[in-house]
């Protein structure tokens, strides 16, 4: 599968919106996306275990800014000063919360 590419990234009060190059639209609630961070602080490098969960993230956290990292990922500046997180496009696309993607994921689960 080709790497998904975002065409537009918009920060709105209810979350981060991504319009993908294939026309698909994704909305990620800020807190949800913050909790999916895969940096060394949020996931242990030694065990690969997640250290930061949704419950650990402040309820009103939001993305203040974002930038693209190379041609494969986005980096968000979170209001809790966490800036080390990099979200590969493929991960973001997997995290899409729309009904269509949820159904597809549910169908592909063993």
The yes or no reply on residue 18 touching Zn ion (CB under 5 A) is no
In angstroms, the CA 74 to CA 63 distance is: 12
Candidate segments 13-21, 58-66, 73-81, 97-105, binder of Zn ion by CB under 5 A: 97-105
**Three-state secondary-structure class, residue 48:** coil
| Beta carbons within 10 angstroms of residue 87's beta carbon | 23
Binding map of Zn ion across residues 43-82, x = CB under 5 A, - = no contact: ----------------------------------------
In angstroms, the CA 14 to CA 40 distance is: 27
Site for Zn ion (CB under 5 A): how many residues? 8
Smaller CB separation from Zn ion, 5 or 41: 41
């Amino acid at each position: 599968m080709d790497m998904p590419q975002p065409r537009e990234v918009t920060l709105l009060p209810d979350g981060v919106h991504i319009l993908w190059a294939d026309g698909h639209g994704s909305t990620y609630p800020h807190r949800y996306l913050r909790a999916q961070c895969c940096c060394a602080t949020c996931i242990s490098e030694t065990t690969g275990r997640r250290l930061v969960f949704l419950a650990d993230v402040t309820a009103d956290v939001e993305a203040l800014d974002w930038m693209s990292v190379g041609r494969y990922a986005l980096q968000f500046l979170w209001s809790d000063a966490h800036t080390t997180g990099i979200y590969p496009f493929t991960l973001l696309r997997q995290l899409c919360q729309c009904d269509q993607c949820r159904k597809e994921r549910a169908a592909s689960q063993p």
